[in-house]
């Protein structure tokens, strides 16, 4: 298995106005001692200014969603090309809040991910089971379905990151056991390698769901965990940097 540099990515969700970019400034100021790649995904209103603030640093800026089409009559939507035009390098696709709140299917997530690649962005594609699916022993089946349905052909480490985010762990303070995280990541890795062969070897598989400074070291040390997708704890520079320092 090839060595990969971990990635810690922050998803600000629908949080943040211009004043909150001071937290991004704090992340830029504190990133030099960090051994992993860092990305911050603020709301789309802040993208261009966020890109300006990270100039000259290694911090990447990403968006949280994109439309599959390049342009057109889709009021309120933002295309991957528009995101790339802002200077952002990444987009999150298939976040469970979009799958749940907007009924996004695996097929739509796949087309959004293809759009990201078309625009030259790399995608952080989220998958994960519900609490009910886990209790019913259907976690691996669900992950397989989501990988088969959401991940486009021709995936590579340059343009794909998978985020394993159990839906029941997001924003709840709950996390799976170390064994369960390890098993899910191993399963995802196995499916990617079965489909993409060596091209999948460097694809990073992040864990997401209630990652905090207090649990980051243990989670990031698990075999098969190549970083974290962080929601709530990414809103404060100190917390986000404390998580990144655990890599």
Active-site option among 23, 97, 104, 165: 165
**Beta partners for 208?**
229
Q: Which one of 64-72, 147-155, 194-202, 204-212 is the stretch in contact with ligand PEP (CB under 6 A)?
A: 204-212
In the block, residue with structure tokens 């489909």? 195
Angle between helices 106-118 and 139-150 (to 10 degrees): 40
List the interface residues with ligand PEP, window 6-35 (CB under 6 A): 11
Residue 81 or 239: the one with the smaller Cβ distance to ligand PEP is 239
The phi and psi torsions of 157 (rounded to 5 degrees) equal: -65, -30
Residue 96 or 111: the one with the smaller Cβ distance to ligand PEP is 96
Three-class HEC string of 4-68: CCCEEEEECCCCCCHHHHHHHHHHHHHHHHCCCEEEEECCHHHHHHHHHHHCCCCCEEEECCCEC
For position 209 contacting ligand PEP by CB under 6 A, the verdict is yes
Please say if 95 is a catalytic residue. yes
How far apart CA 61 and CA 47 sit, in angstroms, is 7
Q: Name which position in 171, 180, 214, 223 contacts ligand PEP (CB under 6 A).
A: 171
Q: Which one of 62-70, 146-154, 189-197, 229-237 is the stretch in contact with ligand PEP (CB under 6 A)?
A: 229-237
Residue 228, token pair as written in the block: 């974290």
Q: Which one of 34-42, 45-53, 163-171, 237-245 is the stretch in contact with ligand PEP (CB under 6 A)?
A: 163-171
How far apart CA 147 and CA 94 sit, in angstroms, is 11
Please say if 187 is a catalytic residue. no
Q: Name which position in 205, 232, 241, 244 contacts ligand PEP (CB under 6 A).
A: 232
Least distance from ligand PEP to the Cβ atom of residue 228, Å: 8
Least distance from ligand PEP to the Cβ atom of residue 102, Å: 14
How far apart CA 45 and CA 244 sit, in angstroms, is 25
Residues classed as catalytic: 95, 165
Binding site for ligand PEP (CB under 6 A): 11, 165, 170-171, 208-211, 229-233
């Amino acid at each position: 298995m090839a060595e990969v540099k971990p990635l810690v990515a922050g998803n600000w969700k629908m949080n943040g106005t211009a004043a909150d970019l001071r937290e991004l400034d704090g992340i830029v100021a504190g990133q030099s001692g960090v051994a992993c790649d860092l990305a911050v995904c603020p709301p789309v209103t802040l993208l261009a200014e966020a890109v300006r603030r990270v100039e000259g640093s290694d911090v990447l800026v990403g968006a949280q969603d994109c439309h599959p089409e390049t342009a057109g009559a889709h009021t309120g939507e933002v295309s991957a090309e528009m995101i790339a035009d802002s200077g952002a390098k990444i987009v999150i696709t298939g976040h469970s809040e979009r799958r749940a709140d907007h009924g996004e299917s695996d097929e739509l997530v796949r087309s959004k991910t293809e759009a990201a690649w078309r625009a030259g962005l790399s995608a952080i594609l989220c998958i994960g089971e519900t609490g009910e699916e886990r209790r019913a022993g259907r976690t691996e089946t669900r992950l397989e379905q989501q990988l088969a349905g959401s991940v486009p052909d021709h995936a590579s480490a340059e343009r794909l990151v998978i985020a394993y985010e159990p839906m029941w762990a997001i924003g709840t303070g709950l996390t799976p056991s170390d064994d369960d995280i390890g098993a899910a990541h191993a399963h995802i890795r196995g499916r990617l390698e079965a489909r993409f062969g060596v091209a999948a070897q460097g694809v990073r598989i992040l864990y997401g769901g209630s990652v905090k400074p207090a649990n980051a070291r243990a989670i990031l040390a698990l075999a098969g965990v190549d970083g974290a997708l962080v929601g709530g704890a990414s809103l404060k520079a100190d917390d986000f940097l404390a998580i990144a320092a655990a890599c």
